[in-house]
Structure 1
Amino acid sequence: MRWFIFIAIYILVDIYAFQAIRTLTKNPWIYSIYVFLSLAVLAALIYQVSTLGAGKVLDIKSMYVFGIFLTVFVPKLLIVVFMFGEDIARFFVGIFMKVAGSDEAQFMASRRKFVSTIALGIAAIPFASLLYGMIQGKYNYKVLKYSLEFDDLPEEFDGFTLTQLSDVHSGSFDNREKVEYAVNLINEQQSDVILFTGDLVNNLAEEMDDWKQLFSSLKAPNGVFSILGNHDYGDYVKWDSAAAQAENLRKLKNIQNEMGWNLLLNENRFIEKNGQKIAVVGVENWGLNGFKQAGDINKACEGISNSDFKILLSHDPSHWQAQVKDSPRNFQLTLSGHTHGMQFGIEIPGIIKWSPIKYRYKNWAGIYEEFGRYINVNRGFGFLGYPGRIGIWPEITVIKLKRKKPQT
């Protein structure tokens, strides 16, 4: 029944959008190409969803089918908005001209052609954007640098730099050269420590088989620390047994150890310099809106005092709002990911920062501060679902910690 409703809506949108093309050309070849592409995209989507089944793994081929569907269907929705609005206007204008005794035929035809031209021109923008996002945008890596000041940062750590990486989603990669470039870019930052905030894979540990050696090349003087994200647990796969899912998670943990990463499972580690120290605290995934809540912040802080300077790794930024930002434990800096910035939005520094994900997450991309405590939400290294990015580019974050100088 759901497929019937979806197909009916798709066909209605298609027919309505076709009116704009029919207004501008009478070429039967263009008509045929339009119908063929529409049916091919619909058939491919139905086939992929049907063969995928409930709880099966979403692979890169399925993502591309979904991406092509969006590339074709979203512009048609825009055309429908214009054409429907024009039809409403035609109705009232037609009544007025009839009452006035005017010849409406020529006026209406020219008006229809003008609106169709505008509609197709505007629809070309999301079409080109979605196409670009799949071809180039998903690997358009950006290094974003911040400097944060703290009153209680130990003096020995003044100028200490960290590189944050998040949401690799290795099961989505399809261009080794681009990913190698990004990994080299991370190492080129020469930070004191590298911190990974979850979602190494889409679902399966084996997704890292072709990438383990590459990501093991990530190096920093104080090491690489990591945590688990919601996708790392394999919760979105229909497993044959609970034991199979547990084995998958065990393999993923082992992979991180083999890469030389220090996986923090509700635990902490101290980084020391000349008798002073800061703590890296890592919690398992904890999120609102139905996401796994395996994180135990109390357990993760065992052996740490409230006065210690702490960097908390927590995959889901909703954790910061719910439990962290006003905690008496005083987490000076929290690093999260998870949102991907929805892989779509508009960002012009100092002017606008917008994505639809902002209506679900208060903290969705970049640096936020409350109560003198900070969170950085990384926009993600990889991609999932739609195999591309538009306006919200894959991110490598570099943060320099500074000790705030006393005011004179």
Structure 2
Amino acid sequence: MLRWALLLLFYAAITFYGFLALRTVTKNIWLHYLFILIALVIAGNFIIQFAVYTEGRVLTPAKSYAFGFLLAFISLGLVLIPLLLVEDIGRVIYGLYDKFLAKNDSFYLPSRRKFISQIALGLAAIPFSSILYGMYRGKYQFRVLNYTLHFEDLPEAFDGYKITQISDVHSGSFDNREKIEYGINLINEQASDAILFTGDMVNNKSSEMLPWTDLFGSLKAKDGVFSILGNHDYGDYVDWSSSEEKKRNFEDLIQLQKDMGYDLLLNESRFIEKDGQRIAIVGVENWGSGGFKQAGDLKKASENIDPNDFKILMSHDPTHWQQKVIDDDYHYHLTLSGHTHGMQFGIEIPGWVKWSPAKWRYKYWAGVYKEKGQYINVNRGFGFLGYPGRVGIWPEITVIELKKGTSDA
């Protein structure tokens, strides 16, 4: 209850300051009423979705949009309140000076200045419109990121081998079949030798994937489609009526992946062979720090491979790489992860800036990193969760080309 009270109090402050700014800029009373009505509708919808219609922690599209609109409205306050509060403090200081030092009989509080309100509303419109854009366009603004990684011990037969990685589908959030079909076609157009999916196919329930199996089942690569599980694939965020129901949901998800032609690796490994040489594909179940499931067993997954094999590890959460993989006795040449989504919000300008709140939680949160001669790519995700959009951190399809030699060669 305390969290709800604090949220509503903060929301009321945002609405109040937004109303004051709008009233200063325009005297149109109907716009004033419209602003208040919108604020009430957004708050009311959020309360209904999250306090009345609940099903465990499942984030349905309706809940996501309720959260998205609330986030957009709150973004107004994050800009308006500091600017207008500074002006209010200045007005009070001026009034006190006028009263006690200028010796005026009455306390005079100057009117709010119109241009300050105009500036505040103009600045507040930037995050507000960005969040709305992310909800309606940004979340399906797929981009292909290409990397070329060099390895001195890559088998000759795999020089130029191409891998497409996708991650964090979160099919329970989808609401536009045409856009998803475009994304699937974009994956297939890369014509990579193998496709590797690094977990979180659903939000919570296997049934979320049923409307999309035909599309994701159309993914094709010469050497196959390999997959692992993410933390959302276990059904841990649903209040199931029984353990048997939860187990059945998990089994259904595994069967769905098999039906789509995916080779699901549950702490297992596979070999891809070419011209008498081979590379190992290793897949662990989810392992994450900070309270996430730790079902991943690196030793078990690698028990059938040789220490000298060239190894590509699929592990959903990059904290696994940070805490377990880098210092493992085996040398895992390339690890593919996801999970962070890049927080679905940030600023990325190649060669200049790369920032997201995700960096406060994850040391390795998006893109390629190298430590101790080993690489990891953290995919920003194909889908979205919670906030039904993306701002600056766009949905990603990663294409990695393996090259023999050093980057200087």
TM exceeds 0.5?
Answer: yes
Q: Which moved more, 1:25-34 or 1:388-397?
A: 25-34
Q: Any residues of structure 2 matched to 1:324-343 within 5 Å, and which?
A: 324-343=325-344
Q: How many residues align?
A: 407
Whether 1:269 aligns to 2:298 is no
Q: CA deviation at 1:195?
A: 0.2
Q: Which amino acid aligns with 2:327?
A: D
Are 2:271 and 2:278, in contact at CA under 8 Å, matched by a contact in 1?
Answer: yes
SS for the counterpart of 1:209 is: helix
Distance 1:308 1:115, change over 3 A: same
Q: CA deviation at 1:228?
A: 0.1
Q: Which amino acid aligns with 1:243?
A: E
Q: Which amino acid aligns with 2:82?
A: V
Q: CA deviation at 1:17?
A: 2.5
Corresponding residue for 1:256? 257
CA distance in 2: counterparts of 1:145 and 1:96, whole angstroms:
62
Corresponding residue for 2:301? 300
Q: Which moved more, 1:365-374 or 1:85-94?
A: 85-94
Corresponding residue for 1:71? 72
**Structure 2 residues not aligned, in runs of 5+:** none
Q: Which amino acid aligns with 2:90?
A: A
Q: Which amino acid aligns with 1:70?
A: L
CA distance in 1: counterparts of 2:407 and 2:298, whole angstroms:
32
Q: CA deviation at 1:328?
A: 1.7
SS for the counterpart of 1:211 is: helix
CA distance in 2: counterparts of 1:44 and 1:107, whole angstroms:
38
Q: Which amino acid aligns with 1:33?
A: L
CA distance in 2: counterparts of 1:179 and 1:406, whole angstroms:
35
CA distance in 2: counterparts of 1:54 and 1:182, whole angstroms:
30
TM-score, structure 2 length as denominator?
Answer: 0.95
**Structure 1 residues not aligned, in runs of 5+:** none
Q: Which amino acid aligns with 1:61?
A: A
CA distance in 2: counterparts of 1:333 and 1:90, whole angstroms:
60
CA distance in 2: counterparts of 1:245 and 1:279, whole angstroms:
32
Q: CA deviation at 1:65?
A: 1.1
Q: Which amino acid aligns with 1:304?
A: I
Whether 1:223 aligns to 2:224 is yes
Corresponding residue for 2:199? 198
Distance 1:306 1:18, change over 3 A: same
SS for the counterpart of 2:145 is: strand
CA distance in 2: counterparts of 1:50 and 1:73, whole angstroms:
19
CA distance in 1: counterparts of 2:127 and 2:38, whole angstroms:
17
Q: CA deviation at 1:113?
A: 1.5
Q: CA deviation at 1:327?
A: 1.6
Q: CA deviation at 1:100?
A: 5.6
Are 2:149 and 2:407, in contact at CA under 8 Å, matched by a contact in 1?
Answer: no
SS for the counterpart of 1:262 is: strand
Q: Any residues of structure 2 matched to 1:31-180 within 5 Å, and which?
A: 31-53=32-54, 55-96=56-97, 99=101, 108-109=110-111, 112-180=113-181
Q: Which amino acid aligns with 1:392?
A: I
Distance 1:184 1:7, change over 3 A: same
Distance 1:177 1:54, change over 3 A: closer
Q: Which amino acid aligns with 2:307?
A: N
Q: Which amino acid aligns with 2:34?
A: I
CA distance in 1: counterparts of 2:342 and 2:70, whole angstroms:
21
Q: CA deviation at 1:139?
A: 0.2
What do residues 104-156 of structure 1 show as CA deviations (whole Å, max 9, x unaligned)?
999943x6212111110000001110110011000000000000001111111
Are 2:268 and 2:302, in contact at CA under 8 Å, matched by a contact in 1?
Answer: yes
Are 2:165 and 2:398, in contact at CA under 8 Å, matched by a contact in 1?
Answer: yes
Corresponding residue for 2:310? 309
Q: Which moved more, 1:24-33 or 1:48-57?
A: 48-57
CA distance in 1: counterparts of 2:57 and 2:143, whole angstroms:
32
Identity of aligned residues (%): 58
Q: CA deviation at 1:18?
A: 1.5
Q: Which amino acid aligns with 2:126?
A: I
CA distance in 2: counterparts of 1:380 and 1:253, whole angstroms:
20
CA distance in 2: counterparts of 1:231 and 1:107, whole angstroms:
55
Which runs of 4 or more aligned residues in structure 1 lie more than 6 Å from their structure 2 counterparts after TM superposition? 104-107
Q: CA deviation at 1:188?
A: 0.5
Q: Which amino acid aligns with 1:65?
A: A
CA distance in 1: counterparts of 2:408 and 2:255, whole angstroms:
49
What do residues 2-31 of structure 1 show as CA deviations (whole Å, max 9, x unaligned)?
333432332233112211111112221111
CA distance in 1: counterparts of 2:9 and 2:127, whole angstroms:
23
CA-atom RMSD in angstroms: 2.0
Q: CA deviation at 1:90?
A: 2.2
Distance 1:148 1:48, change over 3 A: same
Whether 1:363 aligns to 2:359 is no
Q: Which moved more, 1:330-339 or 1:4-13?
A: 4-13
Are 2:167 and 2:379, in contact at CA under 8 Å, matched by a contact in 1?
Answer: yes
Corresponding residue for 2:354? 353
Q: Which amino acid aligns with 2:280?
A: A
Corresponding residue for 1:402? 403
Distance 1:212 1:407, change over 3 A: closer
Distance 1:113 1:250, change over 3 A: same
CA distance in 2: counterparts of 1:71 and 1:331, whole angstroms:
42
CA distance in 1: counterparts of 2:82 and 2:116, whole angstroms:
11
